[in-house]
Amino acid sequence: MRKFLFQGLLRWPLTELAPAADDAAVAELAAALAKASRRRLGRSLSIREVDAGSCNGCELEIHALGNAFYDLERFGLRFVASPRHADVLLVTGPVTKNMREALERTYAATPDPKWVVAVGDCAFDGGVFAGGYACVGAVSDVIPVDLHIRGCPPDPVALLQGLIALVERRR
Amino acid sequence: MISLRATMRGGRRIERSRPWPRHVINQTGWLRAIREISKGHGDMLGLWSDGADVHMLMLDHESSDIGIVTLECPNGRFPSVGHMHPPASRLERAIRDIYGLGADGSSDLRKWLDHGRWGVRRPGAKPEPSEASGDAYAFLVAEGAPLHQIPVGPVHAGIIEPGHFRFSANGEVVVRLEERLGYVHKGIEQLMVDGPLDRAARLAGRVSGDSTVAYALAFANAVESALEIEIPQRALYLRALMAELERLANHIGDIGAICNDASFSLMHTHCAILRERVLRASQLCFGHRLMMDRIVPGGVASDLTMEGAVALHALLSGAKKIIPRFIELYGDTTSIQDRTVGTGRLRSELAKQYGCGGVIGRSSGRSFDARRHPGYAPYPELSFKVGSAHAGDVDARVWVRFDEIRASFGLIEQILDKMQEGSIRIESLPAPSETCEGAALIEGFRGDIFAWVRLDAAGAVQRCHLRDPSWFQWPLLEAVIEGNIVADFPLCNKSFNCSYSGHDL
């Protein structure tokens, strides 16, 4: 164990430069974020991830945001275990009908001001699962969405661009 | 006495079912098959329906033969398998929810995937509109004065999939865990019905995102068996390469995640770095970090470039140096061993009874690996050692993962060595001209994935069934947590790492 710890002191960090905020995301957000809420929350956000029926692909990439290359927490963004502690809900999946109520209740449990980021093509419009008996479709059909990050799944850089836009625009 | 093999080969044989024969048997044969399975003379590897009949995939231990038996259900009922062989119970409940076929003699009549939210009952056959306000669910009881219940989910605290766990605990000790799943049911099998092959292949690749390669491979192999086509040699090797990269990424991530659940974050951090390197190499080689949609019926969609091969060699040489250090870090840190050794022990009899595959089965003495048996190209041409252990605890499941990581290193090297130049895809698949069926068993990182497909004369998907290894693992998680403390549940759960999406489908 000592070797690993020493190495951590001697080597350069693996963490990479932050990508620029995604322009489309910035435009979508400008309307969503009121000045007042920016003042109240500063540049730090607590995120609650909600899987509303995804295939787990989006979760894998959201997980990757925490590794040393992307190091999400340096931007003041962190994942929390309860919606009661969250400012942002990060929602994935085509919202299965079996998850609809859980998503609504999670949204209701999140204190204001709050934002919803829909992650992945399924969360945008149901993706490949649209049209079946078991899925609602878009997250925005169930709760209001402030930002979409597209992709199947979006890679960590795309996720970072969207999330950075969220904090940067709130200065 | 009539053997299981004879039962599997009795009745009327269906033409054009490949690679394994399918026999339509009568009720007596069906009951005999159940009895033989429940005595442990064979494994039940799958139980599914196409709306009219029920099918059972079986492996006979004596001959190692695999076969499918079918029972016609003109009255909408069939003799319960779960009644004598509990691993079938949830599959039967799912069949009832989707197709309305009831299992006679079944002791569990509760719904499983149908939560009363779809606005329709029996969506797979004769759908009927219904209320969508949600059904009540009766959890099994655990009674006694000091017991209390801990409900968890469906929205969990981590970045994971949704499902509900109901713990009954005596102080810190869990006396019963009951799972309720189905929250991420997307109706994938019905979405495939009457659709074109490429759409079905995309759906198969999204049954469980972490196993997208394995599912796409299982679906493609089943389709190719049905159509009786052989794909180019290079495509076979590229498929195996992707499958091993997927296995590596998942096993490395899992070891880190297990350690993280005991707050051993140093291991987690380093595993996450190595996992990211595998994903980046995959992106460079195949243009997608998880390699989604790269395996298609007829071959593969993207070829390995020289640049990609160089990146893989670099990844391997780095990973082969660091893995022994991970092993040392895990093996020499007594505080993590204190949490994993003896925790969540799965008895070998249970693993055997449930036909439990993957790391979980192999950590409890069940050596089944679909790459070995039934085996599929190119694995018979490659040499590798399947991991194994007998302790059946969380610790054993970590060590078997390390074994499999090393085996994958060796496999990737052999694949890069042996792969010949050539085409990677059959451009246009032949139309079958009449209905045909194909099946495949593929070893994903979780265990054996079963795919079965029936194509119509035009080559469209008439029916498809995909069975995740988790069906035979989730029930065992309930068994291993018994007598452990609540705080050890995350360790047990992560060391199983069952799929919600793959199970709920």
B127 has a chain A CB within 8 A of its CB: yes
Residues of B in contact with A2 (CB under 8 A): none
Please state the rounded mean pLDDT for residues B467-483: 97
Pairing of strands B120-121, B102-104: unpaired
User: What is the residue-averaged pLDDT of chain A?
Assistant: 87
pLDDT of residue A2: 82
- Kindly report, residue by residue over B136-173, the tens digit of the pLDDT: 999 998 888 789 999 998 999 889 999 999 999 999 99
A134–B276 CB contact, under 8 Å: no
pLDDT of residue B2: 76
Tell me how far apart the alpha carbons of residues A47 and B406 are, in angstroms, rounded to a whole number.
36
Burial of B442 (0-12, 13-18, 19+ CB in 10 A): buried
Tell me how far apart the alpha carbons of residues B349 and B346 are, in angstroms, rounded to a whole number.
9
Which residues 80-119 in chain B show a CB within 8 A of chain A? 115, 117-119
Quote the tokens at residue A15.
């963490």
pLDDT of residue A76: 85
Q: Is B174 helix (H, G, I), strand (E, B) or coil?
A: strand
- For residues B442 and B218, is the Cβ–Cβ distance under 8 A? yes
CB neighbour burial string for A87-112, b if at least 16 within 10 angstroms, e if fewer? bbbbbbbbbbbbbbebbeebbeebee
- For residues B249 and B416, is the Cβ–Cβ distance under 8 A? no
State the smallest CA–CA distance between residue B206 and chain A in angstroms: 6
Q: Is the pLDDT of residue B213 over 90?
A: yes
- Cα–Cα distances (Å) from B501 to A67, B128, B256, in that order, read 24, 25, 22
pLDDT of residue A99: 97
pLDDT of residue A15: 87
Other C-beta atoms within 10 Å of B310: how many?
Answer: 12
B158 has a chain A CB within 8 A of its CB: yes
Please state the rounded mean pLDDT for residues B490-494: 96
The letter for the amino acid at A75 is: F
- Cα–Cα distances (Å) from B485 to A130, B88, B178, B181, B471, in that order, read 41, 28, 15, 22, 24
pLDDT of residue B9: 87
B137 has a chain A CB within 8 A of its CB: no
- Kindly report, residue by residue over A101-138, the tens digit of the pLDDT: 999 999 999 999 899 999 999 999 999 999 999 999 99
- For residues B316 and B245, is the Cβ–Cβ distance under 8 A? no
CB neighbour burial string for A117-150, b if at least 16 within 10 angstroms, e if fewer? bbbbbbbbbbbbbbebbbbbbbbbebbebbbbbb
pLDDT of residue B274: 98
State the smallest CA–CA distance between residue A114 and chain B in angstroms: 18
- Cα–Cα distances (Å) from A76 to A31, A110, B248, B294, B463, in that order, read 22, 19, 31, 36, 49
Please state the rounded mean pLDDT for residues B131-137: 93
Query: Sorting pLDDT into bands at 50, 70 and 90, what band is A36?
Result: very low
Q: Which of A37-46, A91-100, B157-166, B206-215 has the lowest mean pLDDT?
A: A37-46
Query: Sorting pLDDT into bands at 50, 70 and 90, what band is B55?
Result: very high
Residues of A in contact with B266 (CB under 8 A): 1, 4-5
> How many residues belong to chain B?
505
The DSSP bridge partners found for residue A90 are A49, A117
Q: Nearest Cβ partner of A99 from B123, B154, B191? A: B154
> Tokens 């990424």 identify what position?
B249
Q: Is the pLDDT of residue A171 over 50?
A: no
- For residues B295 and B217, is the Cβ–Cβ distance under 8 A? yes
Quote the tokens at residue B326.
């991970």
Which residues 32-91 in chain A show a CB within 8 A of chain B? 49-64, 66-69, 79, 81-83
Query: Sorting pLDDT into bands at 50, 70 and 90, what band is A17?
Result: confident
Residues of A in contact with B216 (CB under 8 A): none
The DSSP bridge partners found for residue B70 are B24, B55
pLDDT of residue A166: 79
- Kindly report, residue by residue over B413-441, the tens digit of the pLDDT: 999 999 999 999 998 899 898 999 999 99
Residues of B in contact with A55 (CB under 8 A): 206-209, 212, 501
pLDDT of residue A32: 52
Burial of B12 (0-12, 13-18, 19+ CB in 10 A): exposed
Nearest CA in chain A to B501: A55
Please state the rounded mean pLDDT for residues B438-466: 97
Q: How many CB pairs under 8 A join A and B?
A: 149
pLDDT of residue B490: 95
B182–A83 CB contact, under 8 Å: no
pLDDT of residue A41: 58
